[in-house]
Structure 1
Amino acid sequence: MIHNPVLRGFEPDPVILRVGDEDYYIATSTFEWYPGVRLHHSRDLVNWRALGGALDSRRLLDLSGVPDSGGIWAPGLSYADGLFHLVFTVVDTYAEGWKDLPNQVTTAPSIEGPWSDPVPLHGRGFDVSLFHDRDGRSWLLNMRFDWRPEHDMFAGIELQEYDRTSHKLLGQPRTITVGTDAGVAEGPHLYRRGDWYYLVHAEGGTGYEHGAAVARSRDLFGPYEPDPAGPLLTSRHDPTLELQKAGHCSLVETPAGEWYAAHITARPYTERGRCVLGRETALQPVTWTEEGWPRIAGAVPTVTVPAPDLRPAPFPTPPTTDHFARPILGPDWSTLRRPADQNWLSLTERPGHLRIHGGQSPVGRRTPSLVARRVTAPRCSFETRVTFDPRTPDHLAGITAYYNTRNWHYLYVTSTDDGSPALHVLSCEQRTRTAHPVQVPLPPGTSVVLRAELDLPVLHFAYDTGDGPVPLPLELDATVLSDEAADEFHDGQLRVLGFTGAMLGLWVQDLDGAGVHADFGYATYQAVAE
């Protein structure tokens, strides 16, 4: 059986792809986090392993200065000419009625690279994907964004020819549909089955009204007829479903002719409440009617569904503790707004440790020093041992439960005014900081174990200087680490979006530029089975 979500935690906007008879890949959005575009591999659609991200250097991706939940939106992954083709949008701005949306394409002979220098495409919209037709021609799809105040921002799904040899767009774009009455047509993927072209797209926005629709045409350019049965998938009509916000589908066919849809979903802590784990990826079987329409049973997401007739292919279980014994970060780690390079971190300067050189403040968007991993379960823990020698209150290092620059909790080592090290706790919710009444003196020159325990809706911190763990007397609201808490509107204008999910990580600040660093001896993440 397939147990959903198959990719847990912050793993939205899945595009699924089969290459050959055995290998399946899913690419997901990463927004302001490196490496850009998370990649996952499976041979049976049940067991998945993280491969890390495709865009792991500034040559491939520049996220410096992007807003919270900007950066990589809804990539497209396809395969042609013996190459993987990755198209993606880097959202530089999205607020107050404007969006700057450069789209690019890169290719690689292997899913693990090397990826070619990205080539610019256009900036008319986002959620790009490539469709490779039987005649050898390729087509780029995207939603069309319209900035004009008197127009609908979501102006329809656009199609334009793409030449795979020259990496250039040909001809003029054409709008092939404006979607259904649900509105907000985006996330398009095009498929061909028999004599029909099938257009699958998201609708209804990214929240609880989210869904996926399908339309078809015998002509590539339409007109596209919507499925008369309504949405292909949605949770909007039933708040009791365990999997909410279902939509944004992409399809894959097995060699035996079985079809599956990969889609967004979310698991709120309370009914239609906050989703701390962010938007996740699930799979649903797809059948075809006699009339030739794809259908998901009941058009609703199910937690447990039948697996395809493929040989089971489990992967080794990843270790819960990273001892930082390898020269590069493992695939579960992400870094904020700058790639994991020797300019600010090292796994070799002190063997068996991750050394992180201090970066910008928690609101800095160019050179923050945060290494984090996704929260994948409502109950989990995160622990590390940090060695740090702060000299002023401008030097901080510790662990964070993080959503974005405006929403986080932080347990950190810093210096008091007289130069003595101490533990402090700071929280931030929608830009409002709270310094908690905690100050634990630490012996100079020693390391300390820091621990975070998440048990929704509460986050607890603890520390250990060698005499056993000491819980801190704080019950922190973990639901501020959610999409819903992150969304901000002012005077009717969108200012901040919440598209990611909760992260647990290692954070270091050097606010006076003194060159301080912290050494982390290990990191243990344990999720409690659900």
Structure 2
Amino acid sequence: MIHNPILPGFNPDPSFCRVGADYYIATSTFQWYPGVQIHHSRDLANWTLVSRPLNRKSQLDMRGNPDDCGIWAPCLSHADGKFWLVYTDVKRHEGDFKDAHNYIVTCDTIDGDWSDPIYVNSSGFDPSLFHDDDGQKYFMNMRWNHRQKGTGCNPTHDAFDGIILQKWDEKQGLNGPIRNIYAGTERGLTEAPHIFKRNGYYYLTTAEGGTTYDHAVTLARSRDIWGPYETHPDLHVMSTRDAPDHPIQRTGHGQYVQAPDGTAWHTYLMGRPITVDGTRNCPMGRETGLARCVWKDDWLYLENGGLLPPITIGDAPCTPGARVVYDLCGPLHADFQWLRTPEPDRIFRCEDDCLVLIGRESIGSWFEQSLVARRQEHFTYHAETTLEFAPDSYQQGAGLTTYYDRHRFHAALITQEAGKRAVILMSCNANWPGGSLDFPLSDPVFIPDGPITLSVEVDRDSQQFYWASGPDRHPLGPPRKAYLISDEGGRGPEHSSFTGAFVGMVCYDITGQGREARFSSFGYYPA
């Protein structure tokens, strides 16, 4: 059985592509490096990460990119015997301006070395490339109008200036007229365009309503790629705005694919909120779901009717998430990513017996911080790591963190206090746009020499940290609120948080001396 989400944890903006019997989904990675995640499946139920294509400095350097910038909304396609990946590298998103640069990379194989990027434009974000039957290629993106109000105005937003379309080829780049082909519906915030062709119609899929609880998948069609486009009789193919009790929320931003047997499928962005004190929050951020659809009168509808996406579909076997113990010996496991920098050898190295993190800038840096982490995929889990660290200053710290961004994190850290090695608990309270640190322990906990194990028990909205130097572990301070480590955790206006919760290892040395921490193990155990 296919169970949604098919890609749990932070996996937003799913672009869907089929090549023969192989299905691929590309998702956004924002400030996490390497850029873009591509998963593969043969049965639509079980998915394996097969590529992070933007993995070297000549392709991507996000040092200095603010939180929630970086790689937005990739579009994956296959034509002319190779894969094409279109994406945006956003350098600023808060306020009236958006500095959003769109690129194309290609590769003969999904897991090969992708080309250096070809720059296309910077007129807006969510780019897409359509390959027509005659070989002509068309590039589209939403256009950003900076003269209007800033983000957060919902349901309409004048800065979203429609979907623009232009011819593109490898020799000339963009060429010919730019045309605004679709302004969207009254739901507003029209973005994420994808075109596909069927029965003589060009179908334009867009996302509307913003990335939170008003989100929707909208469909329009035209006999001519340049329009005019007629909007779906129901306006939207999917939306959970009017069903607040449905376990899947924030449904939008996806893409259509037809299976070899003619079955219609559509990916979609989704969230799984929990409600705490009357407020909904999504600790896993924006995830990827899949819906089976049907065609009626050349219009696409959900197979189960209505606008609500299914929780389970089909009858294929699905492999549940497994407990993972990483020994951290040898190459870094594919589950892990780091932040922004294309020069990972400056922040970590893999040795035969451990992962060494090299203390750089603070845990709140936009440039170079040593933080290696994996996605949270479950509401309830336990994570732990064992490390050796010998700080000689309170300005050096290393340990375990639950992390959303520089404004939202909790961390259990080995540091030095009063000339002794100690473990402390540190949180960032999400005061936006600054972010202030909170130290809930009245006194540091002094610890013996040798390896220390730090762990965290996450139970929906509660996070309890522990430390141990032997078989017995000890609570570290009071429980922390998990709400802070979520999309809705308090940073800025609506539509300003786009990633998800991570748990991982961190080391900083703001003396500039590069003190190292040696992590011998890391475990992630879903409850």
TM-score bracket, normalised by the shorter chain, equals: over 0.9
1:161 aligns to what?
Answer: 167
What secondary structure is seen at the aligned counterpart in 2 of 1:342?
Answer: helix
Matched, 1:432 2:433: no
CA distance in 1, matches of 2:75, 2:68: 18
Give the superposition deviation at 1:60: 1.1
Summarize the alignment of residues 349-388 of structure 1 with structure 2, pairs less than 5 Å apart.
351-388=352-389
Give the alignment's TM-score, normalised by structure 1: 0.93
Classify 1:243/1:12 alpha carbon distance in 2 versus 1 (closer, same or farther; 3 Å).
same
2:188 aligns to what?
Answer: 183
Summarize the alignment of residues 391-402 of structure 1 with structure 2, pairs less than 5 Å apart.
391-402=392-403
Comparing 294-303 with 239-248, which one deviates more in the overlay? 294-303
For the 8 Å contact 1:35–1:52, the answer to whether it is kept is: no
Of 476, 480, 483, the residue aligned with 1:479 is 483
Classify 1:109/1:314 alpha carbon distance in 2 versus 1 (closer, same or farther; 3 Å).
farther
For the 8 Å contact 1:392–1:417, the answer to whether it is kept is: no
For the 8 Å contact 1:267–1:275, the answer to whether it is kept is: yes
Give the superposition deviation at 1:224: 0.2
Gaps of 5+ in 2: 150-156
Give the superposition deviation at 1:167: 6.7
Give the CA RMSD over aligned residues. 1.7
For the 8 Å contact 2:16–2:76, the answer to whether it is kept is: yes
Q: One-letter code of the match for 2:221?
A: R
Q: One-letter code of the match for 1:274?
A: N
Matched, 1:343 2:324: no
1:302 aligns to what?
Answer: 310
1:278 aligns to what?
Answer: 285
For the 8 Å contact 2:139–2:168, the answer to whether it is kept is: yes
Gaps of 5+ in 1: none
Summarize the alignment of residues 60-459 of structure 1 with structure 2, pairs less than 5 Å apart.
60-149=59-148, 152-163=158-169, 165-166=170-171, 168-270=173-275, 273-289=280-296, 291-296=297-302, 297-306=305-314, 320-327=324-331, 329-339=332-342, 341-348=344-351, 351-418=352-419, 420-430=420-430, 431-437=435-441, 438-444=443-449, 446-459=450-463
What secondary structure is seen at the aligned counterpart in 1 of 2:253?
Answer: strand
Classify 1:318/1:167 alpha carbon distance in 2 versus 1 (closer, same or farther; 3 Å).
farther
Give the superposition deviation at 1:267: 0.7
Q: One-letter code of the match for 2:3?
A: H
For the 8 Å contact 2:103–2:117, the answer to whether it is kept is: yes
For the 8 Å contact 2:425–2:440, the answer to whether it is kept is: yes
Comparing 143-152 with 89-98, which one deviates more in the overlay? 143-152
CA distance in 2, matches of 1:305, 1:299: 15
Give the superposition deviation at 1:259: 1.0
Deviations 1:389-413 (A, max 9, x none): 1011111000100000001001000
For the 8 Å contact 1:57–1:339, the answer to whether it is kept is: yes
Give the superposition deviation at 1:113: 2.0
- Give the fraction of aligned pairs with identical amino acids, expressed as a percent: 38
2:54 aligns to what?
Answer: 55
What secondary structure is seen at the aligned counterpart in 2 of 1:484?
Answer: coil
CA distance in 2, matches of 1:315, 1:524: 19
For the 8 Å contact 1:208–1:272, the answer to whether it is kept is: no
For the 8 Å contact 2:161–2:183, the answer to whether it is kept is: yes
CA distance in 1, matches of 2:428, 2:124: 33
CA distance in 2, matches of 1:200, 1:313: 30
2:517 aligns to what?
Answer: 518
Give the superposition deviation at 1:344: 2.2
Deviations 1:256-309 (A, max 9, x none): 0011110011011117601111011000001000x11001121111111125xx
CA distance in 2, matches of 1:191, 1:487: 37
CA distance in 1, matches of 2:114, 2:447: 47
CA distance in 2, matches of 1:340, 1:469: 36
For the 8 Å contact 1:48–1:315, the answer to whether it is kept is: no
What secondary structure is seen at the aligned counterpart in 2 of 1:479?
Answer: helix
CA distance in 2, matches of 1:239, 1:32: 30
Structure 1 segments of 4+ aligned residues over 6 angstroms from their partners: 313-319
What secondary structure is seen at the aligned counterpart in 1 of 2:236?
Answer: coil
Summarize the alignment of residues 11-30 of structure 1 with structure 2, pairs less than 5 Å apart.
11-20=11-20, 22-30=21-29
Give the superposition deviation at 1:473: 3.9
Give the superposition deviation at 1:340: 6.2
Classify 1:112/1:407 alpha carbon distance in 2 versus 1 (closer, same or farther; 3 Å).
same
Give the superposition deviation at 1:337: 1.3
CA distance in 1, matches of 2:266, 2:330: 36
For the 8 Å contact 2:404–2:486, the answer to whether it is kept is: yes
CA distance in 2, matches of 1:379, 1:316: 15
CA distance in 2, matches of 1:346, 1:196: 52
CA distance in 2, matches of 1:230, 1:504: 39
For the 8 Å contact 2:4–2:310, the answer to whether it is kept is: yes
Question: How many residues end up aligned between the 2 structures?
Answer: 511
Deviations 1:482-520 (A, max 9, x none): 11124314xxxx8x9211111001000010011211010
Give the superposition deviation at 1:469: 1.6
Give the alignment's TM-score, normalised by structure 2: 0.94
For the 8 Å contact 1:83–1:108, the answer to whether it is kept is: yes
2:45 aligns to what?
Answer: 46
CA distance in 1, matches of 2:51, 2:459: 27
What secondary structure is seen at the aligned counterpart in 2 of 1:298?
Answer: coil
What secondary structure is seen at the aligned counterpart in 1 of 2:488?
Answer: helix
Give the superposition deviation at 1:467: 3.8
Deviations 1:24-69 (A, max 9, x none): 1111111110011011110110011122521112111111111110
Deviations 1:296-328 (A, max 9, x none): 121111111125xxxx6878976601112333x
